[in-house]
A and B are shown apart, each in its own frame.
Chain A
Amino acid sequence: MDRTTEFVQQLTDAQRRLYAFILSLMVHPDDAEDVLQEVNLVLWQKSGEFQPGTSFDAWAYKVAHLQVLAYRKRVQRQRVLLDDALLARIADVARDEMASVEDRRRALWQCLQKLPSQQREMIRLRYSPGGSVQAIADALKRSVGAISQALYRIRGQLLECIERQQASEGKLS
């Protein structure tokens, strides 16, 4: 496999992890998608600097962290919830946790199958394009508070289920 192909594969492999890492720092999915695109371009531009045999993810996270900071600096259209110091703290933890993204994704897939169909539908409505608590509340003719509470419970159940799966496979740190 030539170096370009290998680089493309590594970058492609890393997309989910990068997106999760960036979202951890950005909170808002739209911002995270924008930054992910920028990170991809920067990584490609810097591909010659990547040393095969070293950790691609570590390098990519470093670039992503800087791109997040740059994006926040550049796009000051919204209030920043997490300051730079807290961002660095989260980034440190996120770098460690991202190693398990793929395992957790597989576990999530199984956990989703275990959810009652109404809860699965709730998650689908929330995360489908344009999905929001308000839109779900309107569609289901329920209060925003009730939908928020339901999503909180479902997310809690999914996390519990994922942790159990990870523990049963000996992958929980």
Chain B
Amino acid sequence: MSSGSPQVMQLLSLLLDGQATPEQEQQIVELLKTDDAAVRQYVRVMMLHATLQWEHSAPLAVHVEEASPLEEALALEAHAAELRARREREETEHRRDDADFWLKLTQQMDEPIGPPVRHIVIPRTTLYIAAMLLVAVGLGIIYRYWPAATPATEPPGAIAHQPSVEPHVTPQPKPEPSVPPAPIYARLAGACAAAWTTDTGLPLTLAQGDPLPSDQTLVLRQGVAQLAIENNIAVIEAPARFTVRSSQRLDLAQGKVYGIVNDTARNVTIHTPTAVIVDLGTEFGVRVQPTGESDVVVYSGRVAIYPGATEVDEKTPPAQVLEKATAAQITHTGIHPLEPAAVDFLRDLPDSYTWELLATRPLAYWNFADSQEGRIANLLSPYRMTGRIEGAALIDRDDAVAGASLRLVDDTACVVIDDEPGMDDRLTAYTVAMWVKPLSTTPQNIFLRTHSELGPIVRFSHQVRIDEQGRFAHYVFSSVDGSISARADNYWYLDAPATDSPKPGEWQHVVISAQDHGWIRLYINGREQKAVAVPGRLQREMNQWRIGGPSGLVSGEQSQPFTGWVDEIVLYDRVLTPAEITHLFNISPAGARGSNPHGNPIGP
């Protein structure tokens, strides 16, 4: 593989370094005029040069952490005035043929861009928005630091503060050579469905490999990100607010961090609102809740806890040392015991399928691959909604749509998922998608929204089931006055069955959706089956989901508990469109293996 002509490369290298003689510059020009390959090589060399320049340059003078939007706007206004003044000076020098020049320029474009910005008077409101834009753009430029190929040194035990910067966007004059480049301690090693902002809410775009600015608070609003902090790894789950202070210190104001510390020679500390947590060579997770409480779970090695501390040194004894497979919660009042299973941490980035699925922004997602010890983990959700296995339910890693599935072995098998507070009010609309592999077509309850104390036979319920005719169905039952009564005038129900019977022993994609005063719908393998109008509110007095479980009534008949497999259960607090449901089907490994669903939707 060749990177082009060595002669061209050498000339260009001299040009970039300001070392080319006039004759060599002329040689370059002649080559570029006559040789297409030389032009392409020139562009690629310039791309390399630009990238290195970008990565190493000093940051633009942008301050976002403390400046208010108004201050930013005023700063931009000052900058705009400076630009205008500069251009007016330049304009005076080159006024004579300026009009002709701009006429010629604008004629080259499909859309005229008009005169240069020196003639533009920017109103304050525009400046406000422009300030946000330019600060965001400036932040992109901030990341032009030297990559961590050469680790930066830091004072032992000290926080590496960057010098303060001017509160406006302006081209930064080149500092003296003696000024070292700003230290970079962390890079974005990868991300999944990640949305970033600054601490002041300005959107940020970070790509894989980008350095993260030190001492800048970043907000991961959604998704998951993996950071490489020298030799150590941190997996951060949204919503999270954090600051990389140094290669050994990360401040976590909110969110979840799973840390893998490979560099055992130096301790790594996580600073939270209630504690300093010092790694002693380990894998551990820290969750900081919005109220500030810090949950710590140790997976290997040990972790030292200093409650209420802001700084620690080697001489200070920790209040507690957590060993492997233990956990603790640190509040403002002290350290409290915690079950290690109380907090789930994502330990790695999801695969591409999961990435695509999470990009659809579900409220909750249970894929069973991260399940352990009687728990069904909900991935990357702001809600806990961890399921607990009851009876003979197994995680099956040999037969799954992706990774692992849940196998309900017999009529004792059930998974119960409790709501977070307020979920019932939130779910005025919902969509639940899942893959199901039944063993038979006898009437069965597969998935149920219900009330914890009443079980599946309730005043209100939403079900995915196989009905008495052996069809998948989306079924909703509601008592009129809230009482349990068999009187026909005291309840109503909605039934949206599938056209065809399910195929026992085969994975099938089942999706239900519903909305207050809207429709309940059922989709099988991406195709809509049936829609039924909803006469009123759907959600009342429900607080949990059940997968499988005790038998219930199907059209007045006692149903059998579901036995078979379920996988990839995804919950949304909105009604997905048919296109989104088809997308869900297509992106899964099972959907990709099957045929592409198509056909006209049934119903309104």
Residues of A at the B interface (CB closer than 8 Å) are: 4-5, 7-9, 11-13, 15-16, 19-20, 23-24, 27, 29-30, 32-34, 37-38, 40-42, 44-46, 49, 62-63, 66-67, 69-70, 73-76, 81-82, 86, 89-90, 93-94, 97-98, 100-102, 104-106, 108-109, 112-113, 115, 117, 120-121, 123-124, 126-133, 135, 144, 148, 151-152, 155-156, 158-160, 162-164, 167, 172
Contact = CB atoms under 8 A, between A and B. Distances in A.
A45 B43 CA distance: 29
Contacts of B39: 89-90, 93
Nearest to B33: A86
B338 interface: no
Contact of A66 (B108, B176, B205): B108
Given A94-B43, A133-B19, A159-B3, A102 B207 contact: yes
28 contacts: A7-B133, A12-B203, A16-B140, A23-B50, A33-B57, A33-B171, A38-B83, A41-B83, A81-B29, A89-B33, A89-B39, A90-B42, A93-B36, A97-B47, A104-B48, A105-B51, A106-B207, A106-B209, A124-B146, A127-B57, A128-B56, A128-B180, A128-B181, A133-B17, A144-B19, A148-B14, A155-B16, A159-B3
Given A16-B51, A123-B52, A156-B9, A93 B141 contact: no
Given A12-B204, A40-B137, A132-B17, A121 B150 contact: yes
Nearest to B49: A23
A12 B129 contact: no
B118 to A, nearest CB: 9
B208 interface: yes
Given A86-B32, A151-B13, A129 B174 contact: yes
Interface in B530-571: none
Nearest to B106: A66
A145 B546 CA distance: 75
A93 B40 contact: yes
A164 B1 contact: yes
B46 A24 contact: yes
A97 B43 contact: yes
B47 A20 contact: yes
Nearest to A38: B117
Nearest to A139: B177
Contacts of A46: 113
A74 B136 CA distance: 28
B265 interface: no
A49 B54 CA distance: 29
B48 A162 contact: yes
B175 interface: yes
A172 B276 CA distance: 48
Contact of B113 (A66, A90, A106): A66
A172 to B, nearest CB: 8
A112 B55 CA distance: 12
B40 A97 contact: yes
Contacts of B139: 12
B337 interface: no
Contacts of A49: 111
A126 B53 CA distance: 9
B53 A127 contact: yes
A46 B113 CA distance: 7
B175 A129 contact: yes
B44 A97 contact: yes
Interface in B195-241: 203-205, 207-209
A89 B147 contact: no
A99 to B, nearest CB: 11
A173 B28 CA distance: 24
Contacts of B16: 27, 155
Contacts of A132: 17-18, 177
Contact of B51 (A7, A89, A93, A104): A104
A115 B52 CA distance: 14
Q: A interface, by DSSP: helix, strand, loop or mixed?
A: helix
Interface residues of B, number: 85
Contacts of A97: 40, 43-44, 47
Nearest to A24: B46
A35 to B, nearest CB: 10
Contact of B150 (A98, A124, A151): A124
Contacts of B17: 126, 132-133, 148, 151
A124 B94 contact: no
B137 A16 contact: no
A93 B45 CA distance: 13
B105 A29 contact: no
Given A86-B32, A90-B39, A152 B45 contact: no
B21 to A, nearest CB: 12
B120 A120 contact: no
Contact of B1 (A20, A29, A44, A160): A160
Contacts of A124: 56, 146, 149-150, 181
Contacts of A11: 133, 136-137
Contact of B94 (A4, A69, A76, A93): A76
B63 interface: no
B165 to A, nearest CB: 14
Given A13-B205, A70-B105, A86-B32, A160 B117 contact: no
B101 interface: yes
B147 A112 contact: yes
Contacts of A9: 203, 205
A63 B114 CA distance: 11
B150 A73 contact: no
A148 B13 contact: yes
Nearest to A25: B46
B382 interface: no
Q: Which 5 A-B pairs have the closest CB atoms?
A: A159-B3, A127-B56, A20-B50, A130-B177, A152-B13
Contacts of A156: 3, 6, 9, 13
Contacts of B113: 42, 46, 63, 66
A20 B51 contact: yes
A113 B53 CA distance: 17
Interface string B479-515: 0000000000000000000000000000000000000
Contacts of A89: 32-33, 39
A113 to B, nearest CB: 6
Nearest to A83: B29
Nearest to A5: B203
A81 B177 CA distance: 27
Contacts of B18: 132-133
A145 B416 CA distance: 73
